[in-house]
Amino acid sequence: MTAVFDPTTTAKPGDPRFFQKAGPFSVADIALALGAEVKSPPEVVSRMISGLASLQSAGPLDVSFLDNRRYAVLLDATSAGAVIVHPEFAARVPAGAIAIVTPEPYLGWAKVSALFHPPASPKPGVHPAASVHPAAVIDAGAEIGAGAVIGARAEIGAGCIIGPLAVIGDGVLMGKACRIHAHATISHAILGDRVVVYPGARIGQDGFGFAMSKSGFVAVQQLGRVIIGDAAEIGSNTTIDRGSVQDTVIGAGVHIDNLVQIGHNVKIGKGTVIVAQAGISGSTMIGDQVIIAAQAGVTGHLNIGENARIGAQSGVMADVEAGTEVLGAPAQLSKAFFREVVTLRKLAQAGRSKAGQKPNKTDSTD
């Protein structure tokens, strides 16, 4: 009988219908996995924990966490068996719970989530409904899903999972433990190890390149590739064009959100994050550890220095120096942007006052 969904209940994460489950683990094992500290006697740290939960829904067999001080009141009332907390909140953990102390609680939560719910393991083999070219090379430990298409001379490494209806084009090389989700397409690309491509992503198609002629536009052959470094993640419905005469390069550990466009010849440094609906035009160079927020647009042939921050909906039309933060369209240094916002509000208030109108309370800059 199908269970009826009750929206009034607070479900715990990790529904076994959808997520692989591991454990239970002792508090000592959890702390060891996180590199965290537990100030409790041995008989306490041997307590077994069977799952994860939020502070408000956790029970004695669950581990939870507190990262944002705004939710500290929930810590006071939690029934969790163990809580991952920053040292400044360790004393507030209720008597019935064990404090797992770390300076980075959210990072700890990420690690403990992977401990209890590791990524799905491959089920080695090729589904009967898959189409694999005889010249493709597939490691015996890889999983090829139903309806997937693997082209000639493609190489799929050990432990890879190719999801249903994914298409891996001719000559694509893929390292170990990659996960290519349903309906993704990859061509003209070389992937490192542990790369994740989410559903519907398009990688390796023609870049947007044309030459002008008297009769109209003439397409320029796109002869480059897409190179993706180890542990990069490409979000759902994101598109990454292959290079024209150079390669498009996505560095190791880059995280690209859903619905992002990366143009041809773009090079993105390691550890960079690009958030949903951002667009990067061709031949732009992006350094390491850059953050590009949602709906930002970066024009072509620019240099974005390492550790730069680009705010949401920014229009970047000039180079951005390393370590700086820009906002607005056209983008400018964040301090200058906010000064202009305040000045415009004051001018608007002054104009209404002269017209005999009272300024709105929401316009106050106090």
- Segment 289-295 shows an average pLDDT of 98
79 within domain boundaries: yes
100 and 197 housed in the same domain: no
The predicted-structure confidence for 97-114, as pLDDT tens digits, reads as follows 999 999 999 999 999 999
211 and 320 housed in the same domain: yes
The predicted-structure confidence for 238-275, as pLDDT tens digits, reads as follows 999 999 999 999 999 999 999 999 999 999 999 999 99
272 and 223 housed in the same domain: yes
Residue 136 has pLDDT above 80, yes or no: yes
87 and 50 housed in the same domain: yes
Per-residue 3-state assignment (H helix, E strand, C coil) for the chain: CCCCCCCCCCCCCCCCCCCCCCCCEEHHHHHHHHCCEECCCHHHHCCEECEECCCCCCCCCEEEECCCHHHHHHHHHCCCCEEEECHHHHHHCCCCCEEEECCCHHHHHHHHHHHHCCCCCCCCEECCCCEECCCCEECCCCEECCCCEECCCCEECCCCEECCCCEECCCCEECCCCEECCCCEECCEEECCCCEECCCCEECCCCCCEEEECCEEEECCCCCCEEECCCCEECCCCEECCCCCCCEEECCCCEECCCCEECCCCEECCCCEECCCCEECCCCEECCCCEECCCCEECCCCEECCCCEECCCCEECCCECCCCEEECCCCEEHHHHHHHHHHHHHHHHHHHHHCCCCCCHHHCCC
235 and 319 housed in the same domain: yes
- Segment 58-85 shows an average pLDDT of 93
236 and 349 housed in the same domain: no
The predicted-structure confidence for 16-65, as pLDDT tens digits, reads as follows 888 989 989 999 999 999 988 887 777 778 899 999 999 999 999 999 99
Q: Last residue of some domain: 116, 148, 171?
A: 116
275 within domain boundaries: yes
What pTM was computed for the model?
A: 0.88
Query: Residues of the chain with pLDDT > 90: what percent?
Result: 75
Specify the CATH number for the domain of residue 92.
3.40.1390.10
Residues of the domain holding 347: 334-363
220 and 281 housed in the same domain: yes
338 and 234 housed in the same domain: no
181, 183, 188, 264: the active-site residue: 264
235 and 353 housed in the same domain: no
Domains contained in the chain, number: 3
284 and 355 housed in the same domain: no
Give pLDDT, residue 44: 78
194 and 264 housed in the same domain: yes
Q: Last residue of some domain: 116, 132, 166?
A: 116
139 within domain boundaries: no
Work out the mean pLDDT of the chain and round it to a whole number: 92
- Known catalytic residue: 127? no
Give pLDDT, residue 365: 44
326 and 341 housed in the same domain: no
